[in-house]
C-alpha cells in the first residue's frame, strides 16, 4: 500500500492496517531479535576474551606493585600514594573474604552456594523437648542469590582495581602526577558528582528491585507452598512443573481458572480504560462549553470523588449494592423489583456493576486531564471548521479526538497497564466474589490476576504458583505494551498528526 492510499483510509481502517502489519512483521521482528541476541552473546564472549587477554598483558608488563594487587586489592594504589582508593579496595576484599569464608560455615557465602543446588537437605526435627533446626530453604535461596550478586560485584571491583594500576603506571611513565585522596574527594563533589548521586539509588535498585525479582523468578521453579514452609519443612527445585500446572487446560484446573481470570482481566482493563477516557473527555467538553454556568462548582463536585479515600468510598458503595443494601431496599420499597438484584452474587451482574462503579471513580481524573488539554487546542481550528460547515460531531472526530489521542497516547497505555493491576477497586468492592467450585485456587468471577495473586500468597501461601503468575502477568503486560506502543500516534513524528 502506498502512502497516498494509506492517507485515504478511515481511522478504523488505519488501525486495522497497523495491527495487520504488526503481526505480518512479527516473524521478522522475532528473527531480528534472535539475531540481536546472538550478536549480543557473541560480543559478550568476545569482550570476556579481550578482558582476559588484557589482564594477562597487564600482569606480564606491570611492575611488582601491580602484580601484587592481583592478590591484595588496593595494594598498588596505596603503594603509589593513593591511600583512599587503596583502603576502599582492601576493605571491600576483606568484607568479601569474611562473608565467603567466615569460620561459622552455617552463615558463610560458600555455605549458601553449596546448598543452592538442593535448597537444603537437613529438616528441622524434635529431640525430646528441644527443637533442632536444620536447613532453611528460604534463607538458602535468598542468600544464595545475594551471594551470586556479591561475587559479581567482587569480580567487577577486582577488575577495576587491576585497571586502576595499569592507568596509574601509564600516568607515571608520562611524567604526570597521580591524583591524591583529596583530589579524589573533590572530584566526587565536582566532575564525578553524578556518580556520587547515583551510587546509593543504584545500590537500592539492585537490593530492593533486581534481587526480589530474581528471587521471585527462582521461586517459580520450586515447590514453595503451605506444605513446604521453612523452617519446619524444606522446599526444593521442581523445574517447569508449576508452569505446567498453571497452564494446563483441564476442567476445574488452575489452567482453566487462569484463562478465565486473564480474559476477565483484559475485558475489565479495556472498559475501565476507554469508558473513563471517552466519558471523562465528554464531561470536560460539556463543562468547557461556552454558556455553561458554575463551571468551577461542577468540577469541584466531580473532584470530590478523588478527595475521599477509596478505602472509605468503595467499601461504602459495596454495602450500598448488597442484597440488604440501600439500592435494593429503595427499589423494593418503590415496587420496581420483588427480590434483591444479585449485584455481588451473580458473575455477570457483579462484573457489570464493578465496571459502572469504576466509571464514577475514573471520570474525574480524565475530566481534569482533558480540561487542560482542551484549553490548549487552538480556537482557530474550530472556527475554520465552522466556516467549512462542520457540525459538532465532525469537529470532535477531526480535531478534538485526534489531538487528545496524540497528547494522551502514553497516558492511555499506562492507564491500561494500571487497570490490569488495579487491586483497590476489585478487592474493596467485591473481594473477587462470587466464588465458584469451577474455579481453582480460591478464585472468584470478579478476581483480576493481581487479586488472585494476592489470595494465593496471603490466604493460601501458594508462593510457587503465585511466582509463576507474577511472571505471566509481566509477559502479558509487556506484550500488550509493545503492541500498543508501536501504534499510538505519540510515538510518531509530529508531522504525522492530522
At 372-385, the pLDDT tens digits run 888 888 888 888 88
User: What are the tens digits of pLDDT across the range 205-217?
Assistant: 888 888 888 998 9
DSSP 19-60: HHHHHHHHHHHHHHHHHHHHHHHHHHHHHHHHHHHHHHHHHH
Which of 23-37, 271-285, 291-305 shows the lowest per-residue confidence on average (mean pLDDT)?
23-37
* Confidence band, pLDDT 50/70/90 cuts, at residue 90: very high
HSE, side-chain direction, 13 A CA sphere, residue 337? 11
CB of 449 within 8 A of CB of 465?
Answer: no
Q: Say what the pLDDT of residue 270 is.
A: 92
* H or E segment to which residue 130 belongs: strand 130-132
Q: What CA dihedral angle connects 53, 59, 62 and 65, to 10 degrees?
A: 140
| Cell numbers given for 182 | 583529596
Range ranked top by mean pLDDT from 253-257, 291-295, 422-426, 457-461: 422-426
Q: Say what the pLDDT of residue 25 is.
A: 67
HSE, side-chain direction, 13 A CA sphere, residue 73? 21
* Confidence band, pLDDT 50/70/90 cuts, at residue 105: low
Q: Say what the pLDDT of residue 238 is.
A: 92
Name, in order, each residue with C-beta under 8 angstroms of 246's C-beta and a sequence gap of 6 or more.
Answer: 254, 255, 258, 465, 468, 469, 472
pLDDT of residue 492 exceeding 80, the answer is: no
User: What are the tens digits of pLDDT across the range 137-155?
Assistant: 999 999 999 999 999 999 9
The average confidence (pLDDT) of the chain is 84
pLDDT of residue 494 exceeding 50, the answer is: no
Homologous superfamily of 254-496 = MetI-like (1.10.3720.10)
Which of 10-24, 33-47, 144-158, 319-333 shows the lowest per-residue confidence on average (mean pLDDT)?
10-24
Q: Say what the pLDDT of residue 388 is.
A: 84
Task: Give the burial class of 69: count Cβ atoms within 10 A of its Cβ; 0-12 exposed, 13-18 middle, 19 or more buried.
Answer: buried
Give 444's strand partners.
Answer: 435
Tell me, letter by letter, the H, E, C secondary structure of 393-446: HHHHHHHHHHHHHHHHHHHHHHHHHHHHCCHHHHHHHCCCCCECCCCCCCCECC
Give 131's strand partners.
Answer: 126
Which has more pLDDT, 104 or 181?
181
CB of 59 within 8 A of CB of 159?
Answer: no
Q: Say what the pLDDT of residue 365 is.
A: 85
- What's the rounded mean pLDDT across residues 185-201? 85
Q: Is 134 left (phi over 0), alpha (psi -120 to 50) or beta?
A: beta
Report the distance separating Cα 261 and Cα 251, nearest Å.
14
Whether cis (ω within 30° of 0) applies to the bond prior to 434 is yes
pLDDT of residue 201 exceeding 70, the answer is: yes
Range ranked top by mean pLDDT from 138-152, 285-299, 382-396: 138-152
Q: Say what the pLDDT of residue 352 is.
A: 93
Q: Say what the pLDDT of residue 75 is.
A: 92
Q: Say what the pLDDT of residue 30 is.
A: 65
Q: Say what the pLDDT of residue 445 is.
A: 92
Give the domain ranges of the chain. 62-239, 254-496
Report the percent of the chain where pLDDT is more than 90: 20
Q: Collapse the DSSP code of 132 into the 3-class scheme (helix H, G, I; strand E, B; otherwise coil) and give the result.
A: strand
pLDDT of residue 409 exceeding 60, the answer is: yes
Report the distance separating Cα 486 and Cα 399, nearest Å.
22
User: What are the tens digits of pLDDT across the range 246-280?
Assistant: 887 765 678 888 889 999 999 999 999 999 999 98
User: What are the tens digits of pLDDT across the range 461-490?
Assistant: 888 988 998 898 888 888 887 777 766 666
The model's pTM is: 0.77
Q: Say what the pLDDT of residue 150 is.
A: 92
pLDDT of residue 41 exceeding 80, the answer is: no
pLDDT of residue 2 exceeding 70, the answer is: no
Q: Say what the pLDDT of residue 151 is.
A: 94
CB of 74 within 8 A of CB of 85?
Answer: yes
* Confidence band, pLDDT 50/70/90 cuts, at residue 16: low
pLDDT of residue 396 exceeding 90, the answer is: no
- What's the rounded mean pLDDT across residues 300-310? 78
| Cell numbers given for 93 | 576484599
Amino acid at each position: 500500500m502506498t502512502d497516498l492510499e494509506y492517507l485515504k483510509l478511515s481511522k478504523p481502517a488505519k488501525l486495522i492496517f497497523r495491527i495487520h502489519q504488526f503481526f505480518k512483521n512479527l516473524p521478522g521482528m522475532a528473527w531480528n531479535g534472535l539475531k540481536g541476541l546472538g550478536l549480543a552473546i557473541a560480543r559478550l564472549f568476545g569482550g570476556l576474551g579481550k578482558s582476559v587477554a588484557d589482564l594477562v598483558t597487564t600482569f606480564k608488563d606491570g611492575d611488582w606493585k601491580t602484580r601484587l594487587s592481583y592478590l591484595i586489592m588496593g595494594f598498588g594504589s596505596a603503594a603509589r600514594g593513593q591511600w583512599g582508593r587503596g583502603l576502599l579496595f582492601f576493605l571491600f576484599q576483606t568484607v568479601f573474604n569474611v562473608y565467603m569464608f567466615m569460620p561459622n560455615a552455617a552463615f558463610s557465602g560458600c555455605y549458601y552456594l553449596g546448598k543452592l543446588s538442593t535448597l537444603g537437605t537437613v529438616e528441622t526435627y524434635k529431640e525430646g523437648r528441644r527443637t533442632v533446626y536444620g536447613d532453611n530453604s528460604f534463607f538458602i535461596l535468598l542468600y544464595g542469590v545475594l551471594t551470586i550478586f556479591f561475587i559479581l560485584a567482587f569480580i567487577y571491583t577486582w577488575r577495576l582495581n587491576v585497571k586502576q594500576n595499569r592507568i596509574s603506571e601509564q600516568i607515571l611513565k608520562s611524567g604526570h602526577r597521580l591524583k591524591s585522596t583529596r583530589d579524589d574527594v573533590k572530584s566526587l563533589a565536582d566532575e564525578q558528582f553524578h556518580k556520587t548521586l547515583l551510587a546509593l539509588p543504584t545500590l537500592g535498585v539492585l537490593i530492593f528491585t533486581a534481587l526480589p525479582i530474581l528471587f521471585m523468578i527462582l521461586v517459580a521453579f520450586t515447590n514453595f507452598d503451605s506444605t513446604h514452609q521453612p523452617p519446619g519443612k524444606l522446599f526444593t527445585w521442581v523445574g517447569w512443573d508449576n508452569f505446567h500446572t498453571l497452564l494446563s487446560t483441564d476442567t476445574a484446573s488452575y489452567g482453566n481458572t487462569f484463562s478465565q481470570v486473564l480474559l476477565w482481566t483484559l475485558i475489565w482493563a479495556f472498559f475501565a480504560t476507554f469508558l473513563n477516557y471517552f466519558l471523562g473527555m465528554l464531561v470536560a467538553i460539556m463543562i468547557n462549553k461556552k454558556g455553561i454556568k458554575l463551571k468551577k462548582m461542577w468540577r469541584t463536585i466531580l473532584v470530590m470523588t478523588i478527595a475521599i479515600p477509596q478505602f472509605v468510598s468503595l467499601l461504602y458503595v459495596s454495602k450500598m449494592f448488597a442484597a440488604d443494601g440501600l439500592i435494593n431496599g429503595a427499589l423494593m420499597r418503590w415496587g420496581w423489583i420483588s427480590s434483591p438484584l444479585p449485584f455481588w452474587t451473580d458473575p455477570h451482574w457483579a462484573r457489570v456493576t464493578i465496571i459502572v462503579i469504576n466509571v464514577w471513580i475514573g471520570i474525574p481524573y480524565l475530566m481534569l486531564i482533558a480540561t487542560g488539554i482542551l484549553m490548549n487546542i487552538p480556537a482557530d481550528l474550530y472556527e475554520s471548521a465552522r466556516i467549512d460547515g462542520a457540525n459538532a460531531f465532525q469537529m470532535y472526530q477531526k480535531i478534538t479526538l485526534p489531538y487528545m489521542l496524540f497528547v494522551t497516547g502514553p497516558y492511555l497505555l499506562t492507564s491500561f497497564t494500571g487497570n490490569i493491576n488495579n487491586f483497590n477497586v476489585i478487592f474493596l468492592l467485591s473481594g473477587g466474589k462470587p466464588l465458584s467450585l469451577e474455579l481453582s485456587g480460591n478464585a472468584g468471577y470478579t478476581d483480576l490476576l493481581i487479586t488472585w495473586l494476592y489470595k494465593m500468597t496471603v490466604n493460601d501461601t501458594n508462593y510457587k504458583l503465585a511466582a509463576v503468575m507474577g511472571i505471566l502477568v509481566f509477559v502479558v503486560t509487556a506484550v500488550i505494551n509493545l503492541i500498543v506502543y508501536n501504534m499510538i500516534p505519540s510515538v510518531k513524528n509530529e508531522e504525522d498528526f492530522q
